[in-house]
Amino acid sequence: MTAAEWKRKAVHAGIGLFALTLRWLDWRLAAACAVAALLVNVIVLPRLGRGLYRDPAARHDVGIIAYPAMVALLILVFSGKHIPIAAAVWAMMAFGDPAASIAGRTVGGPTLPWNSGKTWVGLLSNWAVGGAASVLVFLFVSRREPSADAVAILMIGAAIYAFLESVRAGIDDNLVGALPTALAVYQMSLAFPPPLLRLAEIPPRHWAAALAVNAAAAALTGALGIVRRSGAVAGAIAGFLILSFGGWGAYGLLWAFFLAGTIATKLGYRRKAALGLAQADTGRRGAAHVVANCLVPAALLLLGVRTVAFVGSFAAALADTLATEVGTLFGRRPVSPLTLRPVPAGTPGAVSLPGTAASLAGAVVLALVGAGLGLIPSGLVLAAAAGGFLGALAESVLAAMGRRFLFRLDHEFANAFNTFVGAMIALRLSGPAAS
């Protein structure tokens, strides 16, 4: 690491010490301070602080802007009595991220299977240092005595944060991990231990049935060439988790998504291939596709989040798939969702009337299937469908912003992003008292 990079990491961690002030500051004042820091980084640092930039020739440093922006968002979302959660995740950002970079670059070691640019040493350092810092900051800000539950929740949260920081996203790390981690910590604070830690409560026969069903499904879909071998294995793991923790209704929704998405991909495949816009390998999905679409839904079940979020996440996944496949076939005039100006076919984030209509239909259908399977009451179909449709639309908007601001979303991250947004919107629209 260069001297400039050491200085950058020291400042990154040093700013994190201000998380301790949330013990005394009103959340409104704290948010105002974070916004002020954001403005300083946007206006003042380009003139006086370019020594902290990764690229001194750049107009702005995205990471330096994203850091206070995310801190401000955490404080606004977790205001009032939940402010210690914002402080704890701020500590993960401030200390876990530099620890990962320093350990990863100085020690090295094996790289991660999902990101060759990061190492296991960096990931574990992020978790250990970020977790320890979050516990200390949380206890100080909340004025609580140490408890096993609080430590466990924060260490699980730090593991989530470390993993999210390690994925390929195409956007700055500061924008990826903080909010999902804070929401996971909040969820666990409502009901602890989560299903993930209550494995002993699941009857062995249920484990056995889930394992047998998914092994058979993997063998069949792999043998028929519907998915790649890696996709069959990853699908079996995802199916096992969803069936084990969500039951047959959740498993049925997974299959509804898979079958509808596969049919949409195969529809008009030759024509899409001729246009250069078809999925590779005749549309057979691999492990990366499975993880992108199923990671968020499975995590929701493992954390015990209300099932309307689970339905909303898969509704978003199907809405996005149908928007792409149908829009590619029938969308004659794709436009940017930001400007509504025409863009070339296949442009990331482009939308069309047929694709948008198919997206809405897919979200509604999967929400109705979720209700039919008993996952949600009929009164929450609209919330789940709206979450699904808006989640898919959010991905298009973010991709269009990438073209405008010169960043390119990783495809798998974009898919996971829309399932997360779909879940959160569905959860919010369902109301706090809904079940």
Query: DSSP assignment of 208-230, as one string?
Result: HHHHHHHHHHHHHHHHTTSB-HH
Per-residue pLDDT tens digits for 143-190: 989 899 999 999 999 999 999 999 999 888 889 999 999 999 999 999
The whole-number pLDDT of residue 4 equals: 64
183 shares a domain with 79: yes
Banded pLDDT at 435 (limits 50, 70, 90)? very low
CB 409 within 8 A of CB 348: yes
Q: What type of residue is 420?
A: F
Q: Which of 131, 160, 192 is the last residue of a domain?
A: 192
Q: Which residue has the higher pLDDT, 384 or 5?
A: 384
Q: What is the mean pLDDT of residues 391-418?
A: 88
* Angstrom distance (rounded) from CA 278 to CA 237: 27
The answer to whether residue 322 scores a pLDDT higher than 90 is yes
Residue 357 lies in a domain: yes
379 shares a domain with 294: yes
Residue 272 lies in a domain: yes
Residue 331 is given by DSSP the state -
The whole-number pLDDT of residue 72 equals: 96
The answer to whether residue 274 scores a pLDDT higher than 50 is yes
The whole-number pLDDT of residue 138 equals: 97
Taking phi over 0 as left and psi of -120 to 50 as alpha, with beta for the rest, 247 belongs to left
Instruction: Let me know if 73 is exposed, middle or buried by CB neighbors in 10 A (0-12, 13-18, 19+).
Output: middle
The answer to whether residue 284 scores a pLDDT higher than 80 is no
Whole-number average pLDDT of the chain: 90
219 shares a domain with 154: no
261 shares a domain with 333: yes
Q: Which of 131, 163, 192 is the last residue of a domain?
A: 192
The whole-number pLDDT of residue 434 equals: 43
Banded pLDDT at 28 (limits 50, 70, 90)? very high
Lowest-pLDDT range, 1-10, 174-183, 203-212?
1-10
Neighbouring-strand partners of residue 351: 335
Banded pLDDT at 419 (limits 50, 70, 90)? very high
Banded pLDDT at 95 (limits 50, 70, 90)? very high
CB 161 within 8 A of CB 74: no
* Angstrom distance (rounded) from CA 297 to CA 305: 10
Q: Which residue has the higher pLDDT, 8 or 172?
A: 172
Beta strands, E only, 40-110 = none
375 shares a domain with 291: yes
The whole-number pLDDT of residue 433 equals: 53
357 shares a domain with 426: yes
Q: What is the mean pLDDT of residues 112-139?
A: 95
CB 342 within 8 A of CB 335: yes
The range of the structural domain enclosing residue 110 comes to 3-192
265 shares a domain with 371: yes
CB 404 within 8 A of CB 370: no
Angle at 105 between CA 99 and CA 109, to 5 degrees: 105
The whole-number pLDDT of residue 283 equals: 60
206 shares a domain with 165: no
CB 391 within 8 A of CB 421: yes
Residues in the chain: 435
* Angstrom distance (rounded) from CA 412 to CA 435: 30
Q: Which residue has the higher pLDDT, 133 or 340?
A: 133
424 shares a domain with 333: yes
The whole-number pLDDT of residue 1 equals: 64
SS3 431: coil
The answer to whether residue 256 scores a pLDDT higher than 80 is yes
Helix (H) or strand (E) holding 238: helix 229-266
Phi first, then psi: what are they for 116, rounded to 5°? -70, -10
The whole-number pLDDT of residue 26 equals: 94
Per-residue pLDDT tens digits for 364-384: 999 999 999 999 999 999 999
The whole-number pLDDT of residue 329 equals: 83
Q: What is the mean pLDDT of residues 339-364?
A: 89
Residue 97 is given by DSSP the state H
Lowest-pLDDT range, 16-30, 290-304, 395-409?
395-409
93 shares a domain with 38: yes
Q: Which of 192, 219, 249 is the last residue of a domain?
A: 192
The whole-number pLDDT of residue 49 equals: 65
The answer to whether residue 403 scores a pLDDT higher than 90 is no
The whole-number pLDDT of residue 227 equals: 86
* Angstrom distance (rounded) from CA 195 to CA 296: 15
Report how many domains make up the chain. Answer: 2
Q: Write the CA distances from 291 to 13, 96, 288, integer angstroms.
A: 32, 24, 5
122 shares a domain with 169: yes
Residue in this structure with the two tokens 């239909």, named with its chain if needed = 361
Helix, strand, coil percent values for the chain (each to nearest 5): 75, 5, 20
Banded pLDDT at 48 (limits 50, 70, 90)? confident
Banded pLDDT at 79 (limits 50, 70, 90)? very high
Residue 435 lies in a domain: no
Taking phi over 0 as left and psi of -120 to 50 as alpha, with beta for the rest, 346 belongs to left
Helix (H) or strand (E) holding 136: helix 120-142
CB 167 within 8 A of CB 413: yes
The whole-number pLDDT of residue 276 equals: 63
Residue in this structure with the two tokens 């909010």, named with its chain if needed = 179
186 shares a domain with 208: no
Residue burial 234-269, b: 16+ Cβ < 10 Å; e: rest? bbbbbbbbbbbbbbebbbbbbebbbebbbebbeebe
